[in-house]
Structures are given as C-alpha cells and as structure tokens.
Chain A
C-alpha cells in the first residue's frame, strides 16, 4: 500500500468525516431544546452523509487507497501516528454507516418525540457515527482502538437509554462487560503487533505479513487475539449472549448499532486484517468453526424467541456469522457484500419493528397479530426485508447469500487458506441455517401480520407510524431490493467479484421455500408454529443455558469474591478502625475516673506520684 504523507485536498475530507460528526455532537449537546437538537442532528447527519458519499464515490472500485498521516511530520509520538487510510472497503462500510445514521436520526425524532433525554440520545448517536468513521478510516491500530472503544461506550449508553427499566440497565452492563472483556484481546493484539512489527500502522502490519517477516506463532497469536475482540464486538459464539439482551434499548439504536454498524465493525476488522487471519490455518479454522456454530445456534434461537426484536437480534448474530464464514473461506467480496446488504435489510427490519412497537406499545410477539391491514406500509416493507433475510430471488439478500455459498463452494475445490473440510462444513451449515432462517422469518411474518388481532388491544389504537418513521423504512426498501446486482458488479471492492452460481441459487431457493411452506402449513391463526418443535422449543427458548453457565462460571465467583472483599473490609479492616475508637473510648473512661472534680484528690494524687517518683529514683538511681 502506498502512503501519502503529504496532505492534499482529500485527506481533509477524510478528517472531516470524523470531525464533522464530533462538531455536530457538540452543537446537539448545547442545543437549547429538543426540536432544535433534532434539526441540528438531522442536518449534521445529512452533511456527514454527503461528505462520506462524495469521498466514497471516487474510491469504490479503486484499488489504490487514499492515505494521510496527520502526525505532524517527523517521528510519530510514542509510535502512534494519526494515520488515515481510505480504500474501497472503508468507503463501502462508511456509506452504509452514514446512510443508516442519517435515516436513524430522521426516524428517531419521531420515535423518541417527547422523550426527555432526546438530546443526549441524538448527541451519542452522532458521536457513535464519528467513532464508526474513526474505526473505518484508521490506519493506525491505536487510533482504531480509540474508535472501537468509543463505539462500545456509546452502545452502553444507548442500551441504557431507558435506564428506569432494570432490563435496560442489566443489558447495558452485560454488553459493556462482555465487549470490554473481548476488547482486551484487541489491546493485547495491538501490543504484540507493536512489539513484533515495530509500528502500529495496519499497512505496515500487512506488508510485514506479506513479506514473511513475522513468525507463524506471532501471526497466529495476533489473529486469535483479534478474533477474541471480534467475537465480543460482533456477538459471536461464545460471547453471543449480550446482543439479544441489548434489545431494551431504543429500536433505532438496535437498527443502527446492533444490526448495521457496530457489530459489523467486527466483520470490517477481520476483513481489514484478512491477510493476517488467512496466513494462519489455526485462526482460519477457529474463525470458520465459530462462525458455523454461531450461525446455526443464532437461527435456532430465533426460531423459539417470543419477542420481535429478540428474533431480529438472533438473526443478526446468525447473519454476522455468515460473513465470518465467508471470510474464513476467503470470500472477501462475498462477506463485505453480505455486510452491506444485511446492514440495509436488517436496519429496515428493526425500524419496521420500531413502527410495530410504536403502534402496539410492546415488542412481544404475543401482543401482535393481524397487523397487516392497519399497517400496510410496515407490512410491505417488513415483508421485503424478511424476504431479503431469507434470500428470496429478487432481493439483494438472495445475491449476497448466494455469493457466500459460492465462496464456500469455490473453497472446496480451489486451493485457499482454508482446509477443504472447513469449506464443506461452512457450505452445509450455511444451507442448514438458510432453512432455519426461512422457518423463523415465516413464523415471525405470520404471527405478527396475520391471524386475529389480539382481543386485549383496541383496534382503533393501532395506527400506521408517522411519516418521519415510515419514510426511512421505505427508503431502505430500495437498497434491499436493488443492491443485489451491485454486489455482483465486478471490481466494486477493488477485488475479484464473486460470480453467480446458478446451481447453488436453485438449491438454496428450494431450501428456503420448503421450510417456509412447512411453517405456513403448521400455522393456524392464534397458534405459534414453534409449538411443533415440542420440547426442543423450551431448550431453544432458554438459549441452551449459556448464560446460566456464565452465571455459574463467572458471575457467581466474582460476586463471591466481591462479598469476600466486602466482608474482609467490614470485619477485618474496619475492626481495626472500630477497635481504635473503642480503645480510645475505654481509655478515656479510665482516665475520666481520675477526674473527680475534687481539688483535694488531685493534690493527693500529685503527692503520691511525687513520692513514688522519689522512691523510684532512689531505687533505680
């Protein structure tokens, strides 16, 4: 990669991609009232979007990245340089993040209308976009870590937006602790890179890996540590449990952070460091196996979940695993294509779920049903989004998923970094996950929009969402439908695009239509098709008790240690403090006995003391 340390016109545009949202966040934070904050936030998001699109337009399809170092020339401070790099990968993800950021800002001003904490919410969302852009633009791993952690903080704050709810507080804490634990991996990986490469620049790292300067064990260590961070950030097995519990946050946040961008940052990081991962078979196999386990488990959990947002969260986990699986079998373009497409349709689905929650007042599936007629906009956009999720023919999801399968199929006979058995495993698991995906998507679709309306609900209270919420959903329908061929366009990511595989396409279409039909057959109005699962449903609804395991293995020992520390403080350390006070009290009582308020006693004691002192002097002297 070339490095342009001279600062031309373009690097300032790159800097403004980060600086502009920060400036907007400051303005939002100092806005006097909510409506002013909303205007500033939307205008700022729009301006950011324009900057990003203009910058990205020249970059998509271009093999040579733009790079700029803002370290002020000379030796970078402490080995850290404020280096930015902007290539096709960054551009694609940045456009996704900016687009969804803008739509979410528009959506939120209606969704959170009247919310007393709207200003801080809009501010944090803007900061989040800045942090995401930092991660995307960083060419220095330390700079990337800063953006990475700021995203984690924003995620924590936004999940806990409704901190009155215990579920929101617990979910925020859980997400923060789990991702922070995983982030330790990234930190250690950065330290290892700095020690072995001598620079924190990603470009230097990749050059070092290509030139074979680094030992295999170092590459494996860095790869595994990066994987730990990514597994946490993107909610992959075994750190997958935080994402569904993050759903008490506002729905637009789920769309922006927990579906389209932040969790996608993990995919982005693996894609960015793919040469490091692919250089070691161990990390490649680890990535592939984690992805396989996660995609099947996530889809299975989604099948039994009883909350719309939880279904979508598990589907996000499952779909992210698709991308990791594609990366494991060297399907770089397929993974990024699926990332972009998934970002679009998952944001659509979450925003539509927000419309449902806005109308019904809850996100529980049990509270819904028969919403097709009162909410036609939401119905049709959700239908298209679910079709893309399943991968039905005309939607973008069909093409991107086909690309993933195609990459796995290629890896079974073309020599790549991944072993052949892993490629087959990815292919089979991917197809199985597609079946499960079709099943849970059909179930969700039927339970929410068909059947009888719930008797507990007044029919006239259900209404279509306001325009500020409908329009972003409708806008997202466009990429959900049309992005597919674009993903297949040759060279858009600066690399060889995945060709279309007809055989796989037919197979996958059959595999998704059949379970959909089966679920439809099992469905009666008012009956959950998941009941057909029998006892397996209970097991899946408990999500294999992974959280119970964490509770036993981590939470309770830590709690016990905390209680021990508190007890030690109270019974041991404080005992000294209390004992000091008690001793002073007792000794003062003892001395107080001498205070008889009688002058004669004092004089008597003095005389006795003098006499005794004289005797002592005589005896000793």
Chain B
C-alpha cells in the first residue's frame, strides 16, 4: 500500500461519490457544483498518475471554463428555479444502461489488464528509444510532443475550435420569426 495508492483510493471515492451526486441531485445548481468536485478529483488522479500538465489544463479549462459555461446556461434557461432534474419514467432503463456499461467495461478491462503495475517513479521507455530525463508528464515534454510530432493535429484542432465557435454563435443567435412559427406549429402539438 503505497502513498500514491492511498491518495488515488481517496480520490477515486471522491470522484465516484461526487459523480453520483451530479447525476442524482434534484437541484440543478448543486449538480453543477458537484461536477466541479468530480472534475477536480479527476485532476487529482491525473496528478497522481504523473500527468501534471494535463491535470492543470483540466483544472483550468474544465473547472474554470466549462463549469462556468454550464452555470451560465442553467441561469439563461431559468433552470435554477426547477428542481425536477431527473426523468422518473426513464430512470430504470437509464440505470440498467449505466450499470451494464460499467459491468461490461469492468469485466473487459479486468480480464485484459489484471496484474499490471504502473511504475510511477522510474522512466524506462518500454517501447524502446531514449527515455526523457525529466518526468514524463510535465509541461516541457508535453509541449515538445505537441509542437513537434503532433503539430498538424494541433492545427486541425484549432480549426475545429474555430468552427465550433462560429457554430455556437450562429446557433444561439436571435430566433427569427419564421423559426418561431415553425416551432409553435411543430412543438406545440
């Protein structure tokens, strides 16, 4: 029982518990706040797994930006007043789907990767090649990997982000009268 394992256990419990709260709390704002806890705990997991840079990006973007965006959305849709977040009708099916997904994944992963131990201290390259002298998940090594080998994918990703930006602006723009009528005709029935 190494210290990393203890910490990871605690983080795991925190992650699962807060995730359960996210999907079960009747208060929508509470759900968003529990999501902050979950994401933060996952960031902690990344840290334990030596993925330092990823952990900080997780905190910055997820906890900082995404959750704030979600809170804004909840407020804009006047959802905070609503406390009925879960569909009572679909809950059994959803629970079955969730449990079965978990079960299948757990069985597959357990059968495939049982007994493998992660070495978080030394840095031998198991695929051959020279092992980097620094810790593998720090900003420097990740930055080098991105801007040397993955630069093309990185640029493509920037295009995707731009497209998503423009798309979000277009989609959330003012609803024209025609759309309103269509919505009234189609959704009102």
Contacts and interface: CB of A to CB of B under 8 A. Distances in A.
Nearest to A606: B97
Nearest to A607: B97
B94 interface: yes
Contacts of B87: 598, 600
B24 to A, nearest CB: 16
B97 A611 contact: yes
Contact of B90 (A600, A608, A612, A614): A600
Contacts of B100: 608, 611-612
Contacts of B101: 607, 611
A600 B94 contact: yes
Nearest to B96: A608
B93 A604 contact: yes
A447 B100 CA distance: 105
Contacts of B94: 600, 604
Contact of A611 (B89, B93, B104): B104
B169 interface: no
Interface in B98-131: 100-101, 104, 108
A615 interface: yes
A618 interface: yes
Contacts of A607: 97, 101
Contacts of A598: 87, 89-90
A611 B104 CA distance: 7
Contacts of A600: 87, 90, 94
A496 interface: no
A35 interface: no
A597 to B, nearest CB: 11
Interface in A579-621: 598, 600-601, 604-605, 607-608, 611-612, 614-615, 618
B90 A601 contact: yes
Interface string B75-100: 00000000000010110011011001
B97 A608 contact: yes
Specify which of A601, A604, A614, A615 lies most central, judged by the most chain B CB atoms within 10 Å of its CB.
A604
A611 B106 CA distance: 12
Interface in B41-98: 87, 89-90, 93-94, 96-97
Contact of B104 (A601, A604, A605, A615): A615
Contacts of A614: 104
A618 B90 CA distance: 28
Contacts of A612: 100
A604 B108 contact: no
A615 B89 CA distance: 26
A614 B100 CA distance: 11
A598 B87 CA distance: 10
Contacts of A605: 93
Contacts of A604: 90, 93-94, 96-97
A604 B90 CA distance: 8
Contacts of B96: 604, 608
A620 to B, nearest CB: 14
Interface in B116-175: none
Contacts of A615: 104
B93 A601 contact: yes
A76 to B, nearest CB: 78
A600 B85 CA distance: 13
Nearest to A604: B93
A601 B93 CA distance: 8
Nearest to A605: B93
Contacts of A608: 93, 96-97, 100
A618 B97 contact: no
A469 B96 CA distance: 100
Nearest to A599: B90
B90 to A, nearest CB: 4
A389 to B, nearest CB: 89
Interface string A170-204: 00000000000000000000000000000000000
Nearest to B99: A611
Contacts of B89: 598
B106 to A, nearest CB: 12
A615 B106 CA distance: 12
Nearest to A601: B90
A593 to B, nearest CB: 13
Nearest to B111: A618
A618 B108 CA distance: 9
B49 to A, nearest CB: 26
A600 B23 CA distance: 14
Contacts of B90: 598, 600-601, 604
A594 to B, nearest CB: 12
20 contacts: A600-B87, A600-B90, A601-B90, A601-B93, A604-B90, A604-B93, A604-B96, A604-B97, A607-B97, A607-B101, A608-B93, A608-B96, A608-B97, A608-B100, A611-B97, A611-B101, A611-B104, A612-B100, A614-B104, A618-B104
Interface of A: 598, 600-601, 604-605, 607-608, 611-612, 614-615, 618
Interface of B: 87, 89-90, 93-94, 96-97, 100-101, 104, 108
Would you list the 7 A-B pairs with minimal beta carbon distance, nearest first?
A: A604-B93, A607-B97, A600-B90, A611-B100, A604-B97, A608-B97, A611-B104
Given A611-B97, A618-B104, 4 more contacts: A598-B87, A604-B97, A608-B93, A611-B104
